[in-house]
Chains A and B, each alone.
Chain A
Amino acid sequence: MKESDSKLIATLGRLKGSECPSERELGEFVGNSLAAQERQTVESHLRSCPYCINRVVEMRETALLLLEGEKAPDRLIARLQQLIPNRPQGALTPQPVLKRWFAGIAQTLGTTRDRLSDWITPRFVVEVVAASAVAIVLVMVISPGHREKTGAERQYAMAPAGAGLGSSETAVVTAFREGVTSVALSAIVAALNHPPLLSALSATRGAANDAGYANALDATVALVTDEGTVGLGSIIGAPGQVLTNWHLVKNSHGVAVMVPLKPDEGARSTASYTALVTKLDPASDLAILTIEHPPPGLKTIPKGKAGTIEPGSEVQVIGKLEGKIALIPATTAALRPDYQWLDAGVIHRTTAIEVLMEFPPEIFGGAILDSRGRLIGVYSYAQQGGGRAYAVSVEVAQTLLKQTATASQPAGAAATSSYRAQSFGPYIKGVYLKSVEPPPDIWFVYATAGSLPLYSASGRMNRLAIDTIVKPQGPGLHSLTYYFDSKCDGQIDLVGYSDNGSTIERYERPTQKVSVASLAPEMVRALRAHIIPYPKLHFCGQARR
Chain B
Amino acid sequence: MTQELKDLLPGVIAGDKESWDAFVRTYSPLVYRLLGKFSSLTPNEREDLTQDVFLLLLDRGVRQFRGSTAYEFAAYIRMITQNEAKSHLRRHGRRFELQVLDQERDEDEDRPVIDPAADRSSDPEEMTLDAENRRALLGCIQNIPEIDQEIFWMRQREDSYQEISRMLNLPTGTIASKFHRAKSSIEECLRRAGIL
Which A residues are within 8 Å of any B CB, using their own CB?
1, 4-5, 7-16, 23-24, 26-28, 30-31, 33, 43, 46-48, 50-51, 53-54, 56-66, 68-73, 76-77, 79-81, 83-84, 86-87, 342-345, 347, 448-451, 475-481, 483, 492, 495, 497, 499-500, 502, 505-506, 510, 512, 514
Chain B residues lying within 8 Å of A13, measured Cβ to Cβ, are 114, 116, 119-120
Tell which of A7, A495, A499 touches B97, judged by Cβ atoms closer than 8 Å: A499
In the complex, what residue of chain A is closest to B64 when comparing beta carbons?
Answer: A345
Tell which of A7, A68, A76 touches B32, judged by Cβ atoms closer than 8 Å: A76
In the complex, what residue of chain A is closest to B129 when comparing beta carbons?
Answer: A14
In the complex, what residue of chain A is closest to B26 when comparing beta carbons?
Answer: A66
Chain A residues lying within 8 Å of B31, measured Cβ to Cβ, are 72
Known: A84-B58, A347-B56, A450-B115. A50 touches B141 (CB 8 A): yes
Tell which of B68, B119, B144, B167 touches A60, judged by Cβ atoms closer than 8 Å: B167
Give, as a whole number of angstroms, the nearest-CB distance from B157 to chain A. 7
Binary contact readout B1-33 vs A (1 if CB under 8 angstroms, 0 otherwise)? 110000000000001010011001111111111
| Complexed CA–CA distance, A538 and B144 (Å) | 45
CB under 8 Å from chain A, chain B span 111-135: 113-121, 124-127, 129, 134
Chain B residues lying within 8 Å of A72, measured Cβ to Cβ, are 28-29, 31-33, 50
Chain B residues lying within 8 Å of A76, measured Cβ to Cβ, are 28, 32, 47, 50-51
B97 near A14 (CB under 8 angstroms)?
A: no
B142 near A14 (CB under 8 angstroms)?
A: no
In the complex, what residue of chain A is closest to B55 when comparing beta carbons?
Answer: A342
Binary contact readout B152-166 vs A (1 if CB under 8 angstroms, 0 otherwise)? 011011010001001
| Complexed CA–CA distance, A451 and B119 (Å) | 10
B67 near A24 (CB under 8 angstroms)?
A: yes
Chain B residues lying within 8 Å of A60, measured Cβ to Cβ, are 71, 150, 154, 167-168
In the complex, what residue of chain A is closest to B87 when comparing beta carbons?
Answer: A500
Chain B residues lying within 8 Å of A449, measured Cβ to Cβ, are 121
Is the interface on chain B under 10, 10 to 19, 20 to 34, or 35 or more residues?
35 or more
| Complexed CA–CA distance, A8 and B191 (Å) | 10
B20 near A505 (CB under 8 angstroms)?
A: no
19 A-B pairs whose Cβ atoms sit less than 8 Å apart in the complex:
A1-B156, A14-B126, A23-B67, A24-B67, A27-B75, A47-B144, A60-B168, A61-B157, A66-B27, A72-B32, A345-B60, A347-B52, A450-B100, A450-B118, A450-B120, A477-B79, A478-B115, A499-B118, A500-B83
Tell which of B33, B58, B69, B196 touches A83, judged by Cβ atoms closer than 8 Å: B58
Chain A residues lying within 8 Å of B144, measured Cβ to Cβ, are 47
| Complexed CA–CA distance, A520 and B1 (Å) | 44
Chain B residues lying within 8 Å of A64, measured Cβ to Cβ, are 163, 166-167
In the complex, what residue of chain B is closest to A345 when comparing beta carbons?
Answer: B60
B141 near A58 (CB under 8 angstroms)?
A: no
Tell which of B24, B47, B72, B141 touches A23, judged by Cβ atoms closer than 8 Å: B72
Chain A residues lying within 8 Å of B59, measured Cβ to Cβ, are 342-343, 345
| Complexed CA–CA distance, A346 and B129 (Å) | 37
The answer, yes or no, to whether B186 is at the interface (CB within 8 Å) is yes
Give, as a whole number of angstroms, the nearest-CB distance from A397 to chain B. 21
By DSSP majority rule, is chain A's interface helix, strand, loop, or mixed? mixed
Q: Which of B33, B70, B90 has the most CB of A within 10 A?
A: B33
Chain A residues lying within 8 Å of B86, measured Cβ to Cβ, are 499-500
Chain A residues lying within 8 Å of B41, measured Cβ to Cβ, are none
CB under 8 Å from chain A, chain B span 78-101: 78-80, 83, 86-87, 90, 97-98, 100-101
Chain A residues lying within 8 Å of B74, measured Cβ to Cβ, are 59, 62-63, 65-66
Chain A residues lying within 8 Å of B159, measured Cβ to Cβ, are 61
Which B residues are within 8 Å of any A CB, using their own CB?
1-2, 15, 17, 20-21, 24-34, 36, 47, 50-52, 54-56, 58-61, 64, 67-72, 74-80, 83, 86-87, 90, 97-98, 100-101, 113-121, 124-127, 129, 134, 137-138, 141-146, 149-150, 153-154, 156-157, 159, 163, 166-168, 186-187, 190, 195-196
Chain A residues lying within 8 Å of B168, measured Cβ to Cβ, are 60
Chain B residues lying within 8 Å of A30, measured Cβ to Cβ, are 69, 71
B119 near A514 (CB under 8 angstroms)?
A: no
| Complexed CA–CA distance, A81 and B25 (Å) | 8
Chain B residues lying within 8 Å of A451, measured Cβ to Cβ, are 117
Chain A residues lying within 8 Å of B116, measured Cβ to Cβ, are 12-14, 16, 50-51, 54
| Complexed CA–CA distance, A71 and B33 (Å) | 8
A48 near B121 (CB under 8 angstroms)?
A: no
In the complex, what residue of chain B is closest to A29 when comparing beta carbons?
Answer: B71
B149 near A24 (CB under 8 angstroms)?
A: no
Give, as a whole number of angstroms, the nearest-CB distance from B192 to chain A. 14
B117 near A54 (CB under 8 angstroms)?
A: yes
Tell which of A7, A9, A81, A510 touches B20, judged by Cβ atoms closer than 8 Å: A81
Chain B residues lying within 8 Å of A475, measured Cβ to Cβ, are 76, 79-80
In the complex, what residue of chain B is closest to A349 when comparing beta carbons?
Answer: B91
Tell which of B71, B117, B196 touches A27, judged by Cβ atoms closer than 8 Å: B71
| Complexed CA–CA distance, A544 and B119 (Å) | 36
Give, as a whole number of angstroms, the nearest-CB distance from A403 to chain B. 17
Q: Which of A5, A62, A71, A87 has the most CB of B within 10 A?
A: A62
Chain A residues lying within 8 Å of B142, measured Cβ to Cβ, are 47-48
B55 near A77 (CB under 8 angstroms)?
A: no
A510 near B15 (CB under 8 angstroms)?
A: no
